Amino acid sequence: MTLMNESPASIKTVRKTRSVTINPPKMCQPMGAILAYMGVHGCVPLVHGSQGCSTYPRYNIARHFRESAEVAVSSLAEDAAVYGGAKNLTEAIKNVKSRLNPAAIGICTTCMSETIGDDVKLISKNALTPGDAMRIFPASTPSYVGTHLTGYDNALRTLVETLAVKGEPNNKINIITGIINPGDIREIKNMLRLMNVQSIFLSDISETLDTPILPGGHKPVLPDGGTSLSDIADSANSLGTLAICRSAGSAATSLMKKFNVPYAPDPAPIGVINTDRFVQNICKLSGAMIPDEIIKERGRLIDSLVDVHHYMYGKKVAIFGDPDLVSAIVRFCAEAGMNPTVAMTATKHKDFAPDIKAVNTEYKTDTQILEGTDLYEFHEVVKTHGAELILGNSKGKDIADDEGVPLVRFGFPVYDRVGVYRYSIMGYNGSIYLLDQMTNAILGHKYDPNKLHQ
């Protein structure tokens, strides 16, 4: 463990050495792949595995987004381990086509289908009849490696590598979202509208997982939103690509290598500095000017930081979640004058530790870095270093209760609060919302002095 009097330069990254994982804040690859496919217009995710491999993602999607999710499954059983799952997958594809008639099917493999060695690409190809307009995108997403972020990245890369085609320049910017909420996507879209910049979102769940009920109570089986297949194909002709979550950047790397589409892998636009970088990259790629409304939004964020500085200064905050969001929120907390004591992610990423160390150097903080570990380790470090506020998803509730501190929820999944997915924590406006949430959590909490670690 790092002692409290250690200098920022001496902070080391702690990685789990135990064989047992206790309370992991991560999910399997198919979960992430399903979210990527659900951001594509008319696309139905199909899990090539057992019933539970689709039930678990659907359950988490329903709890977080309060939406039902059309996720098909090939329903592999014991006999597939001997004879293979080709028959099941073929029947599943035919059933989805006949019942839903989707524009595309996104296949996610699982531990079982990968272990028995099914050739999913060949099976999918043979399941289509000549002249069939429906597209099938098989991604390799076994749960025994990677996390939900890996699955999202693999599925998105599959979509881009299969569809992207060089053509005429489109004067658009590709925005790779990663696993963020519908409210975040809508806020980024609003910023781009203010800057008069056209875009292609890869992919876009802002409508598919926050679907309105239309007049007459009608709600379509397949939502109207999502990125069209033609837009994904056109992503090869864009001015450049920005990845809100760098953990989903392999599609951007593929576009850069194959079609020379520039790629700017900057941190998630949360807080002042990171949002400034995002806006500057938009201007650099598109040639757009920064409009007055964006300048005013930035000014309101600065004003908000000044308004709450006396409440937030020096407050200890512990943060866990996906690496892109955690590293951005750590910087934002430092901008607000807080003391981020712990930054934890279960998914390793090459930029995570350098991001946190850069904040430690710039703001003279002493954030302990936990990477590739679990919430048991996070809780132990919180006990040692202290926290007056915890930021993370719903899996942090028990830790917050044990330590007698409030929990501000962000990321995925959030299942013990309603509507978190509707609001943004990104951009200048979203950062104001996040700051207000943190401040009000501190103001509204009655602390037990015996549980505070000084």
Q: Do 435 and 322 have their domain in common?
A: yes
The whole-number pLDDT of residue 118 equals 93
Round to whole Å and give the CA distance between 183 and 129: 39
Q: Which of 101, 93, 106 is nearest to 36 (CA)?
A: 106
Q: Do 315 and 447 have their domain in common?
A: yes
Reduced to 3 states (helix: H, G, I; strand: E, B; else coil), residue 317 is: strand
Domain count, the chain: 3
The whole-number pLDDT of residue 223 equals 85
Q: Do 331 and 393 have their domain in common?
A: yes
Along the 454 residues of the chain, how does pLDDT read in single tens digits? Answer: 333 334 444 455 666 667 788 899 999 999 999 999 999 999 999 999 999 999 999 999 999 999 888 899 999 998 888 888 999 999 999 999 999 999 999 999 999 999 999 999 999 999 998 888 999 999 999 999 999 999 999 999 999 999 999 999 999 999 999 999 999 999 999 999 999 999 999 999 999 999 888 887 777 778 889 999 999 999 999 999 999 999 999 999 999 999 999 999 889 999 999 999 999 999 999 999 999 999 999 999 999 999 999 999 999 999 999 999 999 999 999 999 999 999 999 999 999 999 999 999 999 999 999 999 999 999 999 999 999 999 999 999 999 999 999 999 999 999 999 999 999 999 999 999 999 999 999 999 865 555 544 4
Q: State how far the alpha carbon of 318 is from the alpha carbons of 116, 263, 302, 368, 424, in Å.
A: 42, 32, 23, 9, 20
Residue 118 lies in a domain: yes
Phi-psi region of 178 (alpha: psi -120 to 50; beta: other; left: phi over 0): left
Q: Do 178 and 253 have their domain in common?
A: yes
The whole-number pLDDT of residue 5 equals 38
* Contacts for 144 with CB less than 8 Å, ≥ 6 apart: 111, 114
Residue 385 lies in a domain: yes
Q: Which of 365, 65, 410, 401 is nearest to 268 (CA)?
A: 410
Which domain range does residue 121 map to?
A: 29-146
Burial of 117 (0-12, 13-18, 19+ CB in 10 A): exposed
Q: Do 279 and 363 have their domain in common?
A: no
Give me the CATH number covering residue 381: 3.40.50.1980
